[in-house]
Amino acid sequence: MGVESDFIWMDGKLVPFAEANVHVLAHGLHYGLGVFEGIRAYTQPNGRPGIWRLRPHLRRLFESAKIMRLHHDYSMEDVETACLDTLDANHFPEAYLRPLIFTGMGAMGLGVRNNPIHFMIAAWKWGAYVGQEAMDRGVRLKTSSFVRHHPNAAPQRAKVVGNYCNNILARYEAADDGYDEALMLDHHGFVAEGSGENIFVVRDGVVFTPPEMNILPGITRTSVMDILRHEGIEVREQLFGRDALYTADEAFMCGTAAEVSGIRELDKRPIADGNQGPITRKVRDLYAKAVRGQLEWLAGDITHR
Ligand code: PMP
């Protein structure tokens, strides 16, 4: 399975993995009403795990819950402690953390508001999300025939469980056609993001990324922009079409699970010479260092005990 651990935090306490269950009539399972996060902890110089930018992830989780009207009584501090407890209980040196808030069993139907709301946090070991070869050589992308949700159809800022069926369709289609990942366009035809990653292109030394309009505002995206600007590299948030990737000097994508991966090809067109360019390699290496507590100016962005 790959998602095993010793304990899962569920509704306020750590429970053994096999006991963290819900009923098949859980409301969220039927209608996709839930919000989640994906967070990573890395081994720090002291040998203990530390969580990268936990507060921004929890802020987005709380905002997702607010948007979807999933009321719960936990404070940000409670959930921060719960994340650290989950890590400690499972003794993982590095882990992916998955908080999920969802509606439980009670009444059925769309207008239901009084069902219990469950809050769980799991941890597991997750290696290269896009596959090691794609990570090392760069990802091969295909423009998806599935369009990213219109903002008035599904909230863009929220990581809503049900929204991800759109991303799954895109990912399946890309994989079926022999690609590593899908490039999703918005309803205007501009580049939005990957199925689970934000996108960057480089041209003449300037880095471009779509603005926070039709994308999930990624925590890694912000980290990458912070790192680039700290290196004196200009970053512009700007709309562009898929042809900007066809003609880019470099392109890369990033996300908590995928980390920073170069893009080698889009729609059978190699990006530049098909190798990962200097800015991609630089930001990838610096991000890998930052999350492991090896960049002093970002050490304060790691939460640990
Ligand atoms: N876009 C989508 C659709 C995602 O699911 C993710 C992963 N959460 C991202 C972008 C990247 O966001 P982050 O860097 O916060 O993981």
* Average pLDDT value for residue range 13-41: 98
Read out DSSP for 7-62? EEEETTEEEEGGG----TT-HHHHH--EEE--EEEEE-TTSSEEEETHHHHHHHHH
Of 262, 259, 289, 261, which is closest to residue 273 (Cα–Cα)?
A: 262
Amino acid at 240: F
Just list the catalytic residues: 159
Q: Which residues line ligand 1 (CB under 6 A)?
A: 38, 167, 193, 196-198, 216, 218-221, 255-256
Q: What is the pLDDT of residue 243?
A: 98
Spell out the residues 6+ positions from residue 156 whose beta carbon is closer than 8 angstroms to its own: 149, 213, 214, 215, 216
Atom of ligand 1 nearest to the CA of 221: 14
Does residue 160 carry a pLDDT above 80? yes
* Average pLDDT value for residue range 262-289: 96
Residue nearest to atom 6 of ligand 1 (CA): 196
Amino acid at 24: V
Q: What is the pLDDT of residue 134?
A: 79
CA 59 to CA 63: how far, in whole Å?
Answer: 6
Q: What is the pLDDT of residue 127?
A: 81
Atom of ligand 1 nearest to the CA of 198: 10
Does residue 283 carry a pLDDT above 80? yes
Residue nearest to atom 7 of ligand 1 (CA): 196
Ligand 1 centroid to Cα of residue 148, in Å, is 13
Q: Is-contact 186 199, C-beta < 8 A? A: no
CA 267 to CA 247: how far, in whole Å?
Answer: 12
Of 281, 226, 301, which is closest to residue 41 (Cα–Cα)?
A: 301
Q: What is the pLDDT of residue 130?
A: 75
Please tell me whether the overall predicted TM-score, pTM, comes out greater than 0.75 for this model.
yes
Does residue 169 carry a pLDDT above 80? yes
Quick check: helix, strand or coil at residue 248?
A: coil
Mean pLDDT of the chain: 96
Ligand 1 centroid to Cα of residue 151, in Å, is 16
Ligand 1 centroid to Cα of residue 256, in Å, is 7
109: region left, alpha or beta (phi > 0 left; psi from -120 to 50 alpha)? left
Amino acid at 75: S
Q: What is the pLDDT of residue 129?
A: 75
Does residue 261 carry a pLDDT above 80? yes
Q: What is the pLDDT of residue 74?
A: 98
Amino acid at 33: L
Atom of ligand 1 nearest to the CA of 56: 15
Question: Model confidence over 55-111: pLDDT tens digits?
Answer: 999 999 999 999 999 999 999 999 999 999 999 999 999 999 999 999 999 999 999
Q: How many percent of the chain have pLDDT more than 70?
A: 100
Q: How confident is the model at residue 131 (pLDDT cuts 50, 70, 90)?
A: confident
Q: Is-contact 68 158, C-beta < 8 A? A: yes
